[in-house]
Structure 1
Amino acid sequence: MLTLSFGMMIWALVYSWDEVTGGDDGLTGVPRAPLLGIDMNGLERYYYFVLIVCVVAIWLLYRLVHSPLGLTFRGIRDSEDRVAFTGISVRKYRLISFTISGLYAGLAGALAAPLFRSVTPGAYAHWTKSAEPVLASLLGGIHTFAGPIVGAFVLEVVQDRIIGISTTINLPWRGEIVIGEYWSLVFGIIVVVLSMGFRGGVVSAVQDQLLPWLQRRLAGLTRSGDQPQQASGR
């Protein structure tokens, strides 16, 4: 909550500092600078550039998670008291984790600004943007490396589909509304349902429930297929 509150303070500063940030209009006309002499104005080239940066960033993060530093982070996530009991400074490693998180968030913003050619307070500095990584982690699962990545994919797909819904419903207290215009409410309900149904996240549910079920089904099909062969051999 403290992080979200700090994000709102930054948003208020960005929104009101017209001389520097452009206020509500933000900064427009953000260029795509050439990279090593390669023109990045084409969307296809910029897509591959972003793809390469993302792959490298994910690989570095994977190495970090599976390093001694990452082991300390996971220990703090699971039990701060136990880690502190070993003499490790929890506050110090929390600061390191926040710094790394800020680095990745800044990288995402630096890649997004040239894509959309603009930077606005609502798109980059609002507290909901700080909440999206949290929701993605909860959806995908915080106990697996792929969890937040899968959660971010689910988050974007569901949000995009809800916004595109043009179906209207008639509410007694509101009248006729378009579902897509209230995407945040519908999305919140879906997130709550998914979080309650998959408490460990989507990835953990697949690993712990779906994969064992598929293995049992395949094992059953294999056994049923072997029985006729054994009977014919007799």
Structure 2
Amino acid sequence: METTLRRTNQSEIMRMWRYLQKEPWGGILRVWEEERMETVYAPHGFTLLSRGRGEKKRVFSYLDRVPDQWLERDHVEVYRVQRGVSEYTPEGQEEGAWQQRWEERVFHLRFALALMVLEQCKQHLEKRRAQGIPTLQHQMVKSLISDFLILLECVYSRDSTSSDLEQRRLRHFDHTRLDQQVCSLLKLMGGHGYISSGCSRWGHALSVIHNVWVVR
């Protein structure tokens, strides 16, 4: 069972990461939306949809669009849920089953986005030198990057024998650690990490996804 979970976590994260290297991540949401039919997951009163989804589907008439120029570059739109309909169990599925699957996918997507931050961080730093040596060779830099890679390995090797409740608690803990590690990576790049392009694009997406979908 542990091997199965390791393969699932690793394969799902890497599959999304490879997609992000070629296409806007709104495409990932579009695939999820096709699978979940007319369902909306908004545990905190907001949700994210692929571009144009809210206008095309009648069931989403109770959604109020919130402009976000950064997300719209990636074909993603933010919506506020106007009514009390935030969770729905599709016919033929156990209650809460699709929400659990949704939480797992959000977990994998956030780690894939974090890998994009890591990749751009390395690309940025490998061209720079400090105190006569490449910046990537400094102990502090290597330590911060190693912290992220250790977290990633922990997620890959997660023991699947834990209960559903325990798995949710572990995901919550990992989400918190992921935010801390990504913040450190952004700081490594100084101002480059905070302009309206590059890795700030992925950092902003990580933050919005956490606020919208991650259950506290």
TM exceeds 0.5?
no
TM-score, with structure 2 as normaliser: 0.26
The structure where helix makes up a greater share of residues is 1
TM-score, with structure 1 as normaliser: 0.24
